Amino acid sequence: MRSRRGTSRTGGGRPRVLVDTTFLLPALGIEVEEEAMRAIELFRMLEVYYLEAGLLEALWKTLKLVPLERLGRVELGVRAIRRTYRALLPGARAFTLASEIYHRGHRDYIDALHYAAAMTEGLPLLTIDRSFIAFLEASGYQVEGIVYTPRSLPGLLEGAASRRG
């Protein structure tokens, strides 16, 4: 797996997870669903990865929701995300898989790229987007063992603990 600098990194024993854009928003001062906030509380037990494309998508949301006088909070949030989480650089295959998902009917390329990066890099994906999960299932893409919701995240942690113990 390649980090921002293109080097391979492993999780140091903690379970790894790629988070979608929703989980970046609170650091930028944007409120999210309670279930997402509860999942974020568990991040201290995980090695969390994000995509720069997801960060860009989050910043697009700040343009609509964060007033000019609160942009300092956004800057602090970007710094915190980059210091706390690990940027994942997906390989070329992830981009073509994301394009395939897009052309099969899911018109959010960033969602598709999150899934494709998770698949090609062997990382679980954490999302609250149940309609995207339903699309993946209906289209024959692997979901079990790849896509997690905040509700199923404790199972990922328990599974990692039982493999270590």
Q: Buried b vs exposed e over 55-94: b needs ≥16 C-beta within 10 Å? A: bebbbeebeeebeeeeeeebeebbeebeeebbbbbbeeeb
**Assigned architecture for domain 16-154:** 3-Layer(aba) Sandwich (3.40)
Sign of CA dihedral 100, 143, 90, 132: positive
Check if the beta carbon of residue 88 is closer than 8 Å to that of residue 1: yes
Spatial neighbors of 60 by CB under 8 A, at least 6 apart, are none
pTM > 0.85: yes or no:
yes
DSSP bridge partners of 125: 18, 147
For residue range 109-118, list pLDDT tens digits in order.
Answer: 999 999 999 9
For residue range 63-90, list pLDDT tens digits in order.
Answer: 999 899 999 999 999 999 999 999 999 9
Domain residue ranges in the chain: 16-154
Residue 82 has which token pair?
């980059």
